[in-house]
Chains A and B, each alone.
Chain A
């Protein structure tokens, strides 16, 4: 017994100071553990659009919607427990900023870019995104030249070629043949597509392209051809202002416009001059989903969502759907191609194998200071 105790004492002499060392090690361990417990696992999504400059309107609307979407998606748990992280880049309405912005987003590790609201921006970005195999989902680029290509470009809006054709059919159904087209020179891809649709059905008696509104005044006075209708392919503010200008100059022919002008600024800037104006649009604001979204959006941002916001939300929904079904070893582009149809807030959106949307078209008009839907195109 005595020897055992002495042996124990000897062992204790060997392990002296072990307990303080263990406590210190534990303290250091807890500190390291605390430092290392940082949140990881996010999915970066890029958003690139013109937030400043002449094309800011769609971009700002779209960004607001995308930020709102990301917040809601993250509140619902994100994608398989991973939070979505939004990286925003401003294209400044300058095509030279497109590639640097996309490059920066690609370097930041985004899985896809949502944005590029104009066809010109998309056309600029295409070589880069195809080279990097980085999906680009545009909410509003409608140029026909982007259709049916097996590339990394996707869009949740339909080509505006049909918009032009439908509008032309509508004009012709009212026995109007010769039209004056006033178009902005700042979005040629869109204008060209629209003109393609119009020119197949109607005779374009005059084509007036402008870069500044001040130019229109003098050029109108030089038009000698007889026209039965006027079609404006421009933004809502420009369309409204041009409509006022036309009426003040005594041009009283029926007015038609592109879907681009289809928001409330058309009325704010057009006043009574845009009463009766008809245009073709891919969005029906009477859908319950859009009403619900409008309520939500206006409560936060203090104004109704524009076309850019609605379309951007649907683009994010498309991306979100693909991210949810994406398999472990599958590329996002492949997952996007597997989404053949989804329910957006602007209705059912059917995607073809090239990532182009097929949507319904609505005939709309301005009536008593509001935009109202006359019905589905073709009805």
Chain B
């Protein structure tokens, strides 16, 4: 019993070619393997490139940050000079401004926030700067303060104020940050951008100066929230559909950040080349794999087809073809087995044919002998009939006594005659046999006064001789009985004799014999009667394993049923 799952799988198997399946798995596995290896390799390369970029860009950012811090420190020291006696004047301040040329102007204010001197022509002495953030912070904390950047209302360039507490007030230098952009653009760079942002995120220097003038800001960029609170770091981020790798380092003074932005494309350029190469190699490999697998599949299919064709020849019985297999070595044993199997089948077939002709000849000889036996039995029975007829001679009494016996012997003789005339010695058509018996009896009956009409309906049934002889004797007895006793009286009714034979679906043979004579005497019981014919009938029915029944008239109606052993429906 095959389980449904197994049957379903078996059904699937039957629809897939093993070679195709193997080829597909090989291709899929090859592609998958190469993809996984490429991915892992690429990932490792990317990690290494990222580590290298992080180190390189962070070091660069830190170096620039350090330089800017040192420059700011220098400018702060310059402002401190203004607080010292020799420089605490408009001319001293101007001298400092000349040295530290990035200062747009320098101003000195008293503790009340009123300007005492300034190098700015637009600003008047005693202008109130007490509300300016740089003044408030420096005055409150007495430490150097670097303001957020802003655009100067005079130059429209980014500016920051460095405010330094000095004895007697605060010195503030308005630092033009354009110098920072000039410094950055002077650094040689290939595929990255350098910028400086202030603590609020505005660019105060950029290798693209327009970013500064437009007051572009990084405040909304995700990396900036991390950078604000760290000394240095790096992060991948996306801007305007481009992915960047951003490294930053803090400029200690001023809380500015030096930012190195590099597109990930340029960082992973070599990884991209590797990826493209890997894809190319993979595609070539896949193409070659597919081509090779297709060739192998074709060769294997060719070998299998050769074996299929060879086995087909064997099925068709063409044994004169030999197999010259030149395929794969692992299919060679199969081909050899085929060849040996072919030879074995050929040898057995030849033996079978020889045996068959011997058996046929033997059988034909046996049939001839059997027919001869049946012929001799029939002749012997005819001889017995002749002897009995001679013995009876002209004596009517003896003739009457021997008539029944002669009829019975004739019935048996007839069957042997039919058998030796027949092609089939094992079976006999019971209908034909009954027709011959019936006609013979009626022929013998023609000398009687009344000739009954015959209604005969016989289904052709083939039975063996062991069934046919008892059956023939039964018919002979019952018909003889009817011919003897049913139509002896002259009556107006026309005499009718009915014989029917049929085989039902249960392989049971029914024999129906009736006449329209006066019927059996009242109280007649076939089992208690001492007549030979009746005893013979009952004995033969019993021998056939059947049953008999006398049906109500008119006339005498016999129904005999018996199993049709080895019976079959004959010619229609």
A-facing mask of B311-355, CB < 8 A → 1, else 0?
Answer: 010010000000000000000000000000000000000000000
Does B394 touch A at the CB level, under 8 Å?
A: no
Task: For B470, list chain A residues within 8 Å (CB).
Answer: none
Cα–Cα distance between A190 and B27 once the two chains are bound (Å): 75
Task: For B315, list chain A residues within 8 Å (CB).
Answer: 2
B217 touches A19 (CB 8 A): no
Given contacts A9-B308, A248-B126, A268-B132, contact A23 B28 (CB under 8 A): yes
A271 touches B219 (CB 8 A): no
A8 touches B200 (CB 8 A): no
Does A182 touch B at the CB level, under 8 Å?
A: no
B17 touches A271 (CB 8 A): no
Of B16, B121, B124, B151, which contacts A56 at CB under 8 A? B151
Of A51, A213, A214, A302, which contacts B200 at CB under 8 A? A302
Task: For B297, list chain A residues within 8 Å (CB).
Answer: 16-17
Given contacts A23-B28, A271-B130, contact A301 B200 (CB under 8 A): yes
B133 touches A268 (CB 8 A): yes
Given contacts A8-B14, A20-B290, A24-B27, contact A52 B214 (CB under 8 A): yes
Does A27 touch B at the CB level, under 8 Å?
A: yes
B-facing mask of A180-215, CB < 8 A → 1, else 0?
Answer: 000000000000000000000000000000000110
- A1-48 interface (Cβ within 8 A of B): 2, 6, 8-9, 12-13, 15-20, 23-24, 27
B215 touches A301 (CB 8 A): no
Does B67 touch A at the CB level, under 8 Å?
A: no
Task: For B217, list chain A residues within 8 Å (CB).
Answer: 64, 301
Task: For B140, list chain A residues within 8 Å (CB).
Answer: none
A271 touches B156 (CB 8 A): no
Cα–Cα distance between A213 and B120 once the two chains are bound (Å): 13
Does B131 touch A at the CB level, under 8 Å?
A: yes
Given contacts A17-B297, A20-B290, contact A90 B21 (CB under 8 A): no
- B119-135 interface (Cβ within 8 A of A): 121-122, 124, 126-133
Task: For A54, list chain B residues within 8 Å (CB).
Answer: 156
Q: How far is the CB of B213 from chain A (nearest CB, A)?
A: 4
B27 touches A13 (CB 8 A): no
B200 touches A17 (CB 8 A): no
A60 touches B215 (CB 8 A): yes
Does A223 touch B at the CB level, under 8 Å?
A: no
A273 touches B128 (CB 8 A): yes
Of A8, A20, A63, A237, which contacts B23 at CB under 8 A? A20
A56 touches B24 (CB 8 A): no
Does A218 touch B at the CB level, under 8 Å?
A: no
Task: For B294, list chain A residues within 8 Å (CB).
Answer: 17, 20
Q: How far is the CB of B304 from chain A (nearest CB, A)?
A: 9
Q: How far is the CB of A66 from chain B (nearest CB, A)?
A: 11
A17 touches B308 (CB 8 A): no
B215 touches A271 (CB 8 A): no
Cα–Cα distance between A241 and B120 once the two chains are bound (Å): 13
Task: For A9, list chain B residues within 8 Å (CB).
Answer: 308
A-facing mask of B114-150, CB < 8 A → 1, else 0?
Answer: 0000000110101111111100000000000000100
Task: For B396, list chain A residues within 8 Å (CB).
Answer: none
Task: For A303, list chain B residues within 8 Å (CB).
Answer: 148, 200
A-facing mask of B293-306, CB < 8 A → 1, else 0?
Answer: 11001000100010
Does B201 touch A at the CB level, under 8 Å?
A: yes
| Best-surrounded residue of B20, B124, B214, B312 (most CB of chain A within 10 A) | B214
B-facing mask of A87-101, CB < 8 A → 1, else 0?
Answer: 000100000000000
Task: For B129, list chain A residues within 8 Å (CB).
Answer: 271
Does A244 touch B at the CB level, under 8 Å?
A: yes
Task: For A241, list chain B residues within 8 Å (CB).
Answer: 122, 153
Given contacts A90-B214, A301-B219, contact A214 B122 (CB under 8 A): yes
A68 touches B301 (CB 8 A): no
| Best-surrounded residue of A12, A20, A24, A63 (most CB of chain B within 10 A) | A20
Cα–Cα distance between A19 and B15 once the two chains are bound (Å): 12
- Leading 9 A-B pairs by shortest Cβ distance: A271-B128, A302-B200, A52-B213, A51-B214, A60-B215, A19-B24, A19-B20, A300-B219, A12-B17
Q: Which residues of A contact B (CB under 8 A)?
A: 2, 6, 8-9, 12-13, 15-20, 23-24, 27, 51-54, 56-57, 60, 63-64, 67-68, 71, 90, 213-214, 237-238, 241, 244-245, 248, 267-268, 270-273, 300-303, 369
What would 4 more interface pairs be, CB under 8 Å, given A17-B20, A63-B215, A267-B131?
A16-B301, A20-B24, A268-B131, A302-B148
User: Would you mind naming 9 contact pairs between A and B with Cβ atoms under 8 Å apart?
Assistant: A19-B23, A24-B27, A56-B215, A60-B214, A238-B153, A301-B217, A301-B219, A302-B199, A369-B131
